[in-house]
Amino acid sequence: MKPTSIALILLILASSTLTAQGRGGQAGPQVARAAAPIDLTGYWVAIISEDWRWRMITPSRGDFPSIPINLAAQKLAEAWDPAKDEAAGEQCKAYGAPGLMRGPTRLHITWLDDSTLKLETDYGMQTRLFEFGAASRGAAKPSWQGTSVAQWVMAGGGRGRGTAGGARYGSMKSVTTNLRPGYLRKNGVPYSEKTSFTEYWDLLTETNGDQYLVDTNVVNDPVYLQLPWMTAIHFKKEKDGSKWNPEPCDARF
């Protein structure tokens, strides 16, 4: 074989490898499902062992400690009126992604395709899509669940790299933007359309086999928050969907 032919073949192979790996060694979107270091699929139930009075029931107007809101947000929250939300057809304002994940919900996580993870909730009957790779399905108008771009964050060696022996460990990072304005807390604490919602999804397994999903998240809103609001939300895996109980959005309860 001629040297020029050999060089051409090597160039093609190198180009294919870079395309498959993606920038910085991260697995490309076409192999996101196969590259997953953890399995997030299944049914999960929220563990509400903290902030019970703000998460299990609708707090009264003006009950919004722990959220670093500014004066503009405080004025809006103090004027919260669920009847107005219902009349405007906005009874799902507390079910947008930043507020939804703190609700008393069950999750059902599945793969929509090899590059898109789908999360459904029975609380408010919402659906979130996590798209791997820089390219999303297109710029849609703002929605309650927004546009979420995800990536695997691999432990021990950076993104896209495995560990010794072929085992892979890591978590999922997602960044959600393009959100429709909604509520961080059901009693009218607002977030704006400029909000960015960053989440880190980790899987923990006990010695008895019980699995827990931890969603560490940060809400950044330059309009209504003085500081980023960080919380950690916990879910326990259920064996099946027998307790799945879909309920529509409700502005009051």
Q: Is the dihedral of CA 122, 86, 83, 75 positive or negative?
A: positive
Tens digit of each residue's pLDDT (9 = 90 or more) over 138-151: 568 999 999 999 99
Tens digit of each residue's pLDDT (9 = 90 or more) over 88-103: 999 999 999 999 999 9
Top-confidence residue, 52 or 82:
82
Structure token pair of residue 236: 């326990």
171 pLDDT band, cuts 50/70/90, is very high
Supply φ then ψ for residue 205, to 5 degrees: -125, 125
Top-confidence residue, 125 or 61:
125
Check residue 52 and give its pLDDT: 63
Q: Is the pLDDT of residue 5 over 70?
A: no
| Least confident stretch, 13-22, 168-177, 187-196 | 13-22
CA distance 105 to 96: 13
Tens digit of each residue's pLDDT (9 = 90 or more) over 27-37: 444 489 999 99
CA distance 188 to 194: 17
17 pLDDT band, cuts 50/70/90, is very low
| Least confident stretch, 15-19, 185-189, 244-248 | 15-19
Q: Is the pLDDT of residue 76 over 50?
A: yes
Query: Quick one: average pLDDT of 37-45?
Result: 98
Q: Is the pLDDT of residue 64 over 50?
A: yes
Question: Which residues is 64 bridged to in the sheet?
Answer: none
Place of tokens 């947008």: 96
Q: Which of 203, 101, 108, 103 lies closest to 145 in space, CA to CA?
A: 101
Strands 116-121 and 127-132: antiparallel
Predicted TM-score (pTM) of this structure: 0.82
Provide the 8-state DSSP code for 118: E
Q: Is the pLDDT of residue 177 over 90?
A: yes
Supply φ then ψ for residue 203, to 5 degrees: -115, 130
Check residue 59 and give its pLDDT: 79
Rounded to the nearest 5 degrees, what angle is found at the Cα of 150, between the Cα atoms of 148 and 156? 155
Residue 148 CB: number of other CB atoms within 10 A?
A: 22
Supply φ then ψ for residue 32, to 5 degrees: -60, -40
Supply φ then ψ for residue 182, to 5 degrees: -150, -155
Query: Most confidently modeled of 61-65, 104-108, 163-167?
Result: 104-108
Check residue 57 and give its pLDDT: 76
